[in-house]
Structure 1
Amino acid sequence: MSEPTSPAPEAPTRAPRPVARRLAVAAVLAIVVAGIDQLSKAIALAELSTTERIPLLGDLLGLQLAFNAGTVMSLGSGSTWVFTIVSSAAAVAIPIAIVRMRSRLARAGLAIVWGGAVGNLIDRLFAPPGFGVGRVTDMLAYGDLFIGNLADVALGVGAVLLVVGLIRRRDA
């Protein structure tokens, strides 16, 4: 009679490598940011007007549809293709920087910047007038200064978090 055999021991499961985990978390955050940005732009295209402003905070902040071929305040509007190239390069370079960073706050900030850059890159690639020269959809009117979008907000917030994270890490 043969003795019952015990089941084979299970192979130990390995925890995800820190680099893979960092990149995965950052990618999810960037995708959420870009997704919210694109959803807000779709709603703006469906609901807002280029001629009428909806006040949110009096004259300080409102909603108004605009299309921007340049950057903030329409700077460089004749060089949309340059911004497309720079945004494309950033979309590739940012993940490389993220996996090398030690500060969680700095990684989160850079992931938010990544999402904002991708949000505006999607417009530059696929919005009219054509591939690579599309106009970015804007809807957040800051008084009479300029009209931006949630990707722009993400770029600003992410940059602040990145700087704070880097400063805190250096001081630690």
Structure 2
Amino acid sequence: MVGAAVLLVDVGTKSLAVGLLEPGHAVSLVGDRLVCVLTRNAGAALSIAAGNAVLLSVAVLITVVAVGALGWRVRSAGWALGLGMVLGGATGNLVDRVFRSPGPLRGQVVDFLAIGWGPVFNVADFAVLGGVICLITLSLIGSPLGSANQKTRSSAG
């Protein structure tokens, strides 16, 4: 559910950005602190791997499949939230890589949000980052993937 919501918001906001913003022209939302500026990114975060778009797309596809498969087994709300955020965000950027120019698996991701002087990003990027932070936190505190009842049942059996 979380992944689908992230995907819908990401695709919707990217469509709005492409339809309403001119490339390179900044629109202030909250002074200089939050700005909309339309850019395209052939790489991952901070344009990493921009020259290897197909390899990056395949890696993201593998990640989406792996996170989706793990998500079916998770019974913890926290883990489901974190995985859903990563899944929705990764899928949102994968949609761009598959369907946007210059072509399948080489498409450029639409970025349009900038906080202060930082990099330009999108809803998917924010969701992946938030999801990863959530998952790391859950790992550090030792939160189980399943519910407490599930753990008790599997120990008893």
Output the TM-score relative to the length of structure 2. Answer: 0.84
Report Cα offsets for 1:102-146 as digits up to 9, x if no partner: 432012111111000000000000100001100000100133331
Residue 115 (structure 2) aligned to one of 122, 142, 162: 142
**Higher deviation after alignment, 84-93 or 99-108:** 99-108
- Alignment correspondent of 1:99: 72
Give ranges in structure 2 of 5+ residues lacking alignment: 149-157
Cα distance in 2, alignment partners of residues 73 and 142 from structure 1: 14
User: Are residues 1:169 and 2:121 paired?
Assistant: no
> Which one-letter code corresponds to 1:161 in the other structure?
C
Q: Is residue 2:133 matched to residue 1:153?
A: no
> 3-state SS of the aligned residue for 1:169?
coil
Identity across matched positions, percent = 33
CA displacement at 1:101 relative to structure 2? 3.4
Paired residues in the alignment total: 144
Query: Aligned equivalents of 2:31 and 2:46: distance in 1?
Result: 21
Unmatched tracts of structure 1, length 5 or more: 1-27
Letter in 1 for 2:83: L
Q: Larger Cα Rg: Structure 1 or Structure 2?
A: 1
Cα pair 1:37 1:116 within 8 Å, conserved: yes
Partner of 1:112: 85
Counterpart residue identity of residue 15, structure 2: A
The letter of the residue matching 1:136 is V
1:89 corresponds, among 59, 62, 87, to 62
Distance, in Å, in 1 between the alignment partners of 2:142 and 2:27 is: 40
